[in-house]
Structure 1
Amino acid sequence: MKNFSVLILAIVLFASCKDKKSDAVSNELAQADVLLENLKSLTKKGVLFGHQDDLAYGNGWAYEDGNSDVKRVVGDYPAVYGWDLGHIELGDTINLDGVPFSKMKQYALEVYKRGGINTFSWHGTSPYNRKTAWDTTATIKHLLKEPKFMAEYHKDLDKVAEFLISLKDENGNTIPVIYRPLHELTGSWFWWGKKQTSPEDFKKFWCLTLDYLKSKGVTNALYAFSTSEVKTKGEFLERYPGDRYVDIIGVDAYHMSSVDGATFSQGLKKTLAILNEVGKEHNKLMALTEIGSEQIPDPKWWTEVLFPTIEEANLSYVLLWRNGRPDHYYVPYPGQTSAKDFEEFYKNPKVLFQKELTAEKIYQKK
């Protein structure tokens, strides 16, 4: 009976995956919708700068109240703060990068109170075999066909839902966030990747995921659909689940050391042009949902590579990846090769950090 019940729930959720949104859901998402509309308006002023795990750790420090490598260099915090829920599905108290979930909640509230934006990704283990997110077993087809594995996935989503719902301010109001599941979906390095999953199965799975979270009471999330770099509009849209299941479209792109800055910029501009075309046609907010050059060896990377690439891209935000180790970091710290250039990047009026965003009162209806 238990498996039969799970199957019935999956059928009901799949039936609702028809590119529609009920009035009830629209009302419940009012706070998140305010954030979305304000973000759309803000793109006229510039692009928001973000950093993964910014408040948790940096070069030579960890879990020091008020610290931030970004702030150490420019005297200001990022506008967007990325966090990851990987290993929450295992019941762990810390995520896959060592950040305690209790601290993550604390940081999310701190960010919200200063008028910043929280975005969450999820490098979740496979519900099929409990290997890492980087397992390349064709997992989704098993979840869609076999109720016992879908039941495991639902248990994982229960923990995600519980966490997202628990993000509240001091008055008990739920904090709006951006949630970015199943990211880099056009690559093939995760269990939900392109080679592991057919386009139709991926779209079904995306819709089932969002419908399940909503059924569990998650009403404070905007949903970001992010690919890896793509070469055509068709490639980007092949797995697109429909406008009612996406709020933000994005791309993850990394500048590898083997590629010179001009070549990287030229290639990314082509992908951003595709993103722009899709964004305009579907009325979606656009973002570089992950980007970076590991160790930032180019002393002028910020002003001569990154900014010229994003200047005309109509992006809402760019999220630099984390400063996780001495050999693995994506924003400078004091004395780092690109720190002076980062200061110049910060002064650009078209790049917005926390001070500018705080003044915008992003959570208030205009």
Structure 2
Amino acid sequence: MKNVLLVSIITVLSITSLKAQVQPNAPCDPKATKETRNLYNNMRQLVEKGIMYGHHDDTGYGVNWRLQADSSDVKAVTGSYPAIYGWDLARIEHDSTSDINGIPFETQRQLVKDAYQRGGVNTFCWHMDNPVNDKTAWDTTNNSVKDILADGEAHDKYVAYLKKAAKFIKSFKGDNGEAIPILFRPFHELTGGWFWWGNKTTDPQDLIAIWRFTIDYLRKKEKVHNLLVVYSTADFNSPEDFMARYPGDDYVDLVGFDLYCTDNVPQFVQRLDKQLSILQTVAAEHHKIACVPETGYQSIPDANWWTGTLLPEIAKYKLSYLLTWRNGGLNHHFAPYPGQKSAADFVRFYNNPKVLFQDKLSPMGIYGKVLNTNDQTGH
């Protein structure tokens, strides 16, 4: 009888301890910086007011320009920068001077600070080259994730990559020396088969293990405490699909997926609606913030795509932010530039009271305090 009672007590204590670790209204990093905690709490609140719009590499380059001060295709069309700024850590692992899209890392650091000082939000993905064979992120010739786990042949090499990324991330400082909060999106599109960490070559348990190791290493070994972690999938058809590689609530702050529009617009709308519905349920159950970390329609051939296709779908759900991909040229852009076919509709999108660009976000001061209802202007 005593043994049964002892087991019961241990079980209760274990469950209590597990629950204590998962705090549903706080960042998953218990040592997150003040600014990071404020950003997290404000992002949670702002889903009730509207969706922040983001653009990848927005101030780094655009259609027919590159590395020009105070430049942005989004701003050139709407008069405002986006609220969310996307960047890439790719090539930091090789001590390169520039990222995968040719932005010098020194410049990228300054652009991150500029966005932060404006009151915007920075997010990073990482198209890391395959640590096992030095091929690109799109190499899927073997199960590289297994080889970078603790007992794998490329583990030390992977740790060296993390160390370089951590050093760079810790160099992001505001005017007062504070660490600039970053939405960190490791192993993105992990339910797709096109990256070395994707489902074509990686078992779910291995992906979960390397995710946990990565976050634990950055937090505990490198003392990086300015990250909000984004779990970002590709296609999925059920909550079970979406959660199959989920590393656990202690390792995730935001949940979302990447989905692009093709020439089959009705199919995109159907897929977007289905996945957003599932995402909304999962986010609520796990007390996470929902988002769409990547989307867009290459070259935006539909003049009314922003308010005719995209907005009606996303407005139905409580989303923190949506980010369109980069403007790499006339045939590869996902936000309009002046004169582009959808520019006028993009202005209508910008003017919608449920959409937040930088000019609506800046007055809120999302890093300095946790907002209350009266602070949330612009709606």
Is TM (by shorter chain) over 0.5?
Answer: yes
SS at match of 1:119: strand
Rate the CA distance shift 1:46–1:328 in 2: closer, same or farther, 3 A.
Answer: same
Counterpart in 2 of 1:4? Answer: none
* Structure 1 runs, 4 residues or longer, greater than 6 Å off: 21-24
Q: CA deviation at 1:147?
A: 4.3
Please identify, of 29-38 and 101-110, the stretch whose mean Cα deviation from structure 2 is larger: 29-38
Within 2, Cα distance between the matches of 1:146 and 1:211? 16
Within 2, Cα distance between the matches of 1:152 and 1:274? 37
Counterpart in 1 of 2:301? Answer: 297
Q: How does 1:274-289 map to 2 (within 5 A)?
A: 274-289=278-293
Within 2, Cα distance between the matches of 1:170 and 1:317? 26
> 2:172 is aligned with what amino acid?
L
Counterpart in 1 of 2:217? Answer: 212
Within 1, Cα distance between the matches of 2:28 and 2:228? 16
Larger Rg: 2
TM-score by length of 1: 0.92
Equivalent residue for 1:247, pick from 248, 253, 270:
253
Q: CA deviation at 1:144?
A: 2.1
Counterpart in 2 of 1:185? Answer: 190
> 1:48 is aligned with what amino acid?
M
Q: Deviations over 1:281-329 (max 9, x none)?
A: 0010011000010000011100011101101121100000000122100
SS at match of 2:302: coil
- Corresponding position: 1:198 with 2:203: yes
Rate the CA distance shift 1:172–1:297 in 2: closer, same or farther, 3 A.
Answer: same
Counterpart in 1 of 2:373? Answer: none
Asked whether the equivalents of residues 31 and 225 of structure 2 are also in contact (C-alpha less than 8 Å), the reply is no
Q: CA deviation at 1:75?
A: 0.6
TM-score by length of 2: 0.89
SS at match of 1:130: coil
Within 2, Cα distance between the matches of 1:241 and 1:205? 9
Q: CA deviation at 1:34?
A: 1.4
Q: CA deviation at 1:346?
A: 0.8
Q: CA deviation at 1:33?
A: 1.7
Counterpart in 2 of 1:103? Answer: 107
Within 2, Cα distance between the matches of 1:27 and 1:138? 33
Counterpart in 2 of 1:307? Answer: 311
Asked whether the equivalents of residues 257 and 292 of structure 2 are also in contact (C-alpha less than 8 Å), the reply is yes
Q: CA deviation at 1:69?
A: 0.2
Within 2, Cα distance between the matches of 1:28 and 1:43? 21
- Corresponding position: 1:46 with 2:50: yes
SS at match of 1:182: coil
Q: CA deviation at 1:25?
A: 5.3
Within 1, Cα distance between the matches of 2:199 and 2:33? 30
Q: CA deviation at 1:141?
A: 1.2
Return 5+ residue gaps in structure 2 as ranges. 1-17, 371-379
Q: Deviations over 1:230-276 (max 9, x none)?
A: 1111000111110010000010000012x1x2221111110011110
> 2:160 is aligned with what amino acid?
K
* Number of corresponding residues: 347
Counterpart in 1 of 2:243? Answer: 237
SS at match of 1:226: strand
Counterpart in 1 of 2:325? Answer: 321
Identity %: 44
Q: How does 1:54-203 map to 2 (within 5 A)?
A: 54-136=58-140, 137-144=142-149, 146-203=151-208
CA RMSD across the alignment: 1.7
Please identify, of 47-56 and 194-203, the stretch whose mean Cα deviation from structure 2 is larger: 194-203
